[in-house]
Amino acid sequence: MGISSRLVSLSLVLLLAAPGLWAQSLAPALATRFSEGVQALKAGQLDLAEAAFRDVLARGGDRAFVHHNLGIVHQQRNHHVEALAEFRAAARLDPALGPARLLAGSSLLALGRAEEAVAELERAVRLLPGEKAAHLQLADACERVDNVPCLARESRVLAAYAPSDPEYTYRLGKAYLRLSEWSYTRILAIDPRSSRLSEALGREYLQQGQPELALREYQQAAERDPALPGIHLALARIHADALRWDDATREVERELAVAPGSAAALELKARVDAARTVR
């Protein structure tokens, strides 16, 4: 799998748009040679670009940005082992060079080394917090290693950057679904008798349109932790929907004893009281 052209373009914009600024630390002859390499890379002339960058390195221009650009040459050829070596050389010389971390992570993903990619891309995100491509790559890496909290976090960041983009909204929805499943599995592993587990099952049954099964799970949750906010409210709603007003009154009063200021419980109580009045 090769790196996307979108990500290559990002790196060129970040690092190569003003090559003269980077070349200032080089001797004039090497700066000229470096700029020749940049222009060749922008034109897609990879052999000429590689020759120029290697020439700069061989003649004393051992700089982070030179290694980085040489890494881009390798990456555009899908030579990710070589690319990774250059990006890591760049990062050693300049630990704050975010694009090198970003593209190192991309090459690690291409090489199937997702765990290493996560670590590299987390560094990239810290160095480039406003760069969408860094969060996108990290989200993909976290998904590969089944790091669901990380996937949800990065998907949320991406959706915030592009709220009108349906793709990122879709990715966020998928991530939240996986986070819900992951949380359920974690709770089950930690404490199979957790009231939260019963609550989650109850919510799932409600979504499936099976209120009596949901009622059973919420009742079990209430038995395990009577002071858990939201449980009695859920029971009251199920009873109210089934027109069991006495049961609904009992549960909503229990909810208000746990959470006296609950607007949802107070609203439901008013509805139940009104229904009982006209009954």
CATH number (domain holding residue 58):
1.25.40.10
Phi, psi dihedral angles at 192 (to 5 degrees): -60, -15
Phi-psi region of 146 (alpha: psi -120 to 50; beta: other; left: phi over 0): left
Asked whether the predicted pLDDT for residue 47 surpasses 80, the reply is yes
Average pLDDT over residues 186-202: 87
pLDDT on residue 12: 47
Number of domains making up the chain:
3
User: Are residue 164 and residue 203 in the same domain, yes or no?
Assistant: no
Count of residues in the chain: 279
Do 72 and 97 belong together in one domain? yes
The answer to whether residues 208 and 259 belong to one domain is: yes
Last residue within a domain, chosen from 190, 220, 250: 190
Q: Of 124, 140, 156, which marks where a domain is finished? A: 140
Domain identity same for 203 and 177: no
Report the sign of the C-alpha dihedral through residues 167, 169, 170, 171, in that order: positive
Query: 15 with 122, same domain?
Result: yes
What is the extent of the structural domain holding 198? 193-278
Residue 7 has pLDDT above 90, yes or no: no
Assess whether pLDDT exceeds 70 at residue 11.
Answer: no
Residue 77 in this model has a pLDDT that exceeds 90: yes
Q: What is the pLDDT of residue 276?
A: 83
Residue 171 near residue 180 (C-beta atoms within 8 A): no
- The answer on 33 and 133 residing in a single domain is yes
Do 131 and 252 sit in the same domain of this protein? no
6: pLDDT strictly greater than 70: no
Residue carrying the six token digits 């090769």: 2
Q: How far apart are CA 69 and CA 261, in angstroms?
A: 60
Same domain (yes/no): 160, 208: no
The verdict on 84 and 203 lying in the same domain is no
Instruction: Find the DSSP H helices in 191-244.
Output: 195-207, 211-224, 231-241
Whether the predicted pLDDT of 229 surpasses 90? yes
154 and 37 share one domain: no
Could you give the CA distance from residue 248 to residue 232 in angstroms, rounded to a whole number?
A: 9
Q: What is the mean predicted confidence (pLDDT) over 67-94?
A: 95
Determine the Cα–Cα distance for residues 85 and 75; give it in Å rounded to an integer.
11
Mean pLDDT value of segment 59-73: 94
Does residue 151 sit in the same domain as residue 130? no
Calculate the average pLDDT of the chain.
89
pLDDT at 13 over 50: no
| Domain end position, chosen among 140, 173, 204 | 140
| pTM listed for this prediction | 0.72
Question: Is residue 214 located within the same domain as residue 240?
Answer: yes
